[in-house]
Amino acid sequence: MRINADPARPGAGIVETVLHPVRLRIVHALMDRELTARQLSAELSDIPQASLYRHVGRLVDAGVLRVTREERVRGGTQRTYTVVESAVALGPRDFDAASPADHQRYFAAFVGALVAGFEQYLRTAGATPNRDGVVYQQIPVWVTPAESRQLAAAITDLLRPLRARTGGQRRRRTTFAMVLHPDPGT
Per-residue three-class SS string for 75-96: CEEEEEEEECHHHHCCCHHHHH
Q: DSSP string of 43-79?
A: HTTTS-HHHHHHHHHHHHHTTSEEEEEEEEETTEEEE
pLDDT at 168: 76
CB 56 within 8 A of CB 81: yes
Q: Is the pTM of this model over 0.85?
A: no
pLDDT at 52: 95
pLDDT at 12: 53
Q: What is the pLDDT of residues 37-58, one digit of tens each?
A: 999 999 898 899 999 999 999 9
**What mean pLDDT, rounded, does the chain reach?**
85
Residue 2's Cβ-count burial label (10 Å; 0-12, 13-18, 19+) is exposed
Low-confidence stretches of the chain (pLDDT beneath 50) = 1-11
Q: What is the pLDDT of residues 163-178, one digit of tens each?
A: 887 777 788 888 888 8
pLDDT at 3: 30
pLDDT at 4: 31
Q: 12-128 has which fold?
A: Arc Repressor Mutant, subunit A (1.10.10)
What is the rounded distance in angstroms from the CA atom of residue 93 to the CA atom of residue 18? 18
pLDDT at 106: 84
Note the residue count of the chain.
Answer: 186
- Indicate the domain borders of the chain: 12-128
